[in-house]
């Protein structure tokens, strides 16, 4: 079983004397900065001069520094810029200020695991990855609760890396819910796998293919959209609340019987083989390499796919239908 830490396992005092720099003020950045400040930590926010997040940070009461300035003053540097920009920000603004005994933190393992960031050996390096978007991380904190997080120490130079990492998670409010120890490889690979196979890639491909099948057979697109896309939320809510068995108990017997009969025809041994292949591409760095090269080339595939998908009939149908919703 996984090792889970709660408030009682984390000493907040270890982090209160440290200077923390939050680099980036987007989804995660704003939530980390505000939760840490409310927990009594010393926080600096670092953003480029031209960042669109500057205004939001200033409205939240921050005197915003440049990333390199914030990093130079900090004992702990949390890098919360998008993963595909972390290499550049690290090289330009962080590296020279990541001096002996300091700590580098990330909220996702991608850059460290795939060697886009290679910190020196005389610093602490760790990850605290909250299990949810920043808006929820902040909202739940203000209600006196927390969301879970994954954490790992990648490099412990000072001998205090674990205590500091866990204290950081406590200041975020995450130990109120429980934090699970992992490794960079496990967090990165399972996160990529889940978003590619289930949450994003798998789900959108399933919905779009089902929509096309119904429309091709002569059914009205609005009906196809409602039953194959909108109702996903009802089922997802049941799954979130109680798992698969609970969902099965909450739907009709007809729906449950159809699940048993047809589910395995759709997700069959071919799909399983493809899942294993997708996992292998993640594990051996094939996917990471494609994504890193994609950024270097100026995101040609990303832009093309976005355009292609925006023109799919399902989008126009959805836009029309959503106007009818309350």
The stretch near Mg ion (CB under 5 A) out of 35-43, 65-73, 141-149, 190-198 is 190-198
Check the CA dihedral 237-242-247-249 and report its sign: negative
Six-digit token pair at 18?
Answer: 């440290």
**93 vs 191, which CB is nearer to Mg ion?**
191
The contact mask relative to ligand NAD for 25-44 (x = CB under 6 A, - = no) is xxxxx---------------
51 binds ligand NAD, rule: CB under 6 A? yes
Residue number of the CB atom closest to ligand NAD? 26
The stretch near ligand NAD (CB under 6 A) out of 74-82, 171-179, 283-291, 318-326 is 74-82
108 is catalytic: yes
The stretch near ligand NAD (CB under 6 A) out of 83-91, 160-168, 243-251, 308-316 is 83-91
- 107's contact among Mg ion, ligand NAD, none, with CB below 5 to 8 A by partner kind, is ligand NAD
Q: What is the DSSP string of 143-161?
A: TT----EEEEEEE-SSS-H
Chain positions 127 to 146 lying near ligand NAD, rule: CB under 6 A, are 129-130, 133-134
12 in Cβ contact with 170 (< 8 Å): yes
Chain positions 139 to 158 lying near Mg ion, rule: CB under 5 A, are none
- 45's contact among Mg ion, ligand NAD, none, with CB below 5 to 8 A by partner kind, is none
- 53's contact among Mg ion, ligand NAD, none, with CB below 5 to 8 A by partner kind, is ligand NAD
164 in Cβ contact with 14 (< 8 Å): yes
Q: How far apart are CA 116 and CA 81, in angstroms?
A: 13
- 191's contact among ligand NAD, Mg ion, none, with CB below 5 to 8 A by partner kind, is Mg ion
Distances (CA, A) of 301 to 42, 83, 293: 41, 17, 11
**132 vs 221, which CB is nearer to ligand NAD?**
132
- 317's contact among ligand NAD, Mg ion, none, with CB below 5 to 8 A by partner kind, is none
> How many CB atoms are located within 10 Å of the residue 44 CB?
21
The count of residues interacting with ligand NAD (CB under 6 A) is 26
Greatest CA separation found in the chain? Answer: 67
Distances (CA, A) of 287 to 97, 279, 280, 281, 284: 31, 9, 9, 5, 8
Residue number of the CB atom closest to Mg ion? 191
> How many CB atoms are located within 10 Å of the residue 116 CB?
19
List of E strands, 98-188:
103-106, 124-130, 149-155, 179-181
φ, ψ at 127 (rounded to 5°)? -130, 135
> How many CB atoms are located within 10 Å of the residue 183 CB?
15
Active-site choice (108, 113, 160, 312): 108
Q: Which of 83, 124, 187, 191 binds Mg ion (CB under 5 A)?
A: 191
**134 vs 146, which CB is nearer to ligand NAD?**
134
Residues with catalytic annotation? 108
Binding site for Mg ion (CB under 5 A): 191
Binding site for ligand NAD (CB under 6 A): 23-29, 47-48, 51-53, 67, 80-83, 85, 89, 106-108, 129-130, 133-134
């Amino acid at each position: 079983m996984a090792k889970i830490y709660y408030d009682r396992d984390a000493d907040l005092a270890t982090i209160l004397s440290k200077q923390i720099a939050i680099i980036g003020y987007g989804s995660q950045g704003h939530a980390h900065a505000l939760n840490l400040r409310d927990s009594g930590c010393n926080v600096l926010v670092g953003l480029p001069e031209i960042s669109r997040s500057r205004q939001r940070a200033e409205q939240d009461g921050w005197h915003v520094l440049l990333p390199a300035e914030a990093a130079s003053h900090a004992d702990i540097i949390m890098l919360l810029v998008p993963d595909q920009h972390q290499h550049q920000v690290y090289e330009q603004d962080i590296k020279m200020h990541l001096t002996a005994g300091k700590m580098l933190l990330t909220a996702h393992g991608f850059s460290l695991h795939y060697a886009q960031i290679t910190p020196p050996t005389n610093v602490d390096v760790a990850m605290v990855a909250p299990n949810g978007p920043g808006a929820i991380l902040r909202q739940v904190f203000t209600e006196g609760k927390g969301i879970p997080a994954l954490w790992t120490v990648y490099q412990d130079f000072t001998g205090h890396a674990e205590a500091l990492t866990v204290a950081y998670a406590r200041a975020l409010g995450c130990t109120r819910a429980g934090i699970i120890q992992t490794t960079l490889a496990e967090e990165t690979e399972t996160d990529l796998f889940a978003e590619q196979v289930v949450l994003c890639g798998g789900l959108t491909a399933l919905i779009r293919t089902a929509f096309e099948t119904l429309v091709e057979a002569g059914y009205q697109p609005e009906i196809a959209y409602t039953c194959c896309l909108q109702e996903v939320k009802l089922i997802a809510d049941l799954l979130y609340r109680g798992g698969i068995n609970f969902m099965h108990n909450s739907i009709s017997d007809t729906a449950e019987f159809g699940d048993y009969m047809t589910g395995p025809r759709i997700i069959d041994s071919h799909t399983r083989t493809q899942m294993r292949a997708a996992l292998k591409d993640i594990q051996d760095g094939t996917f990471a390499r494609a994504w890193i090269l994609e950024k270097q080339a100026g995101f040609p595939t990303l832009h093309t796919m976005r355009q292609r998908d925006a023109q799919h009939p399902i989008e126009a149908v959805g836009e029309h239908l959503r106007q009818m919703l309350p």
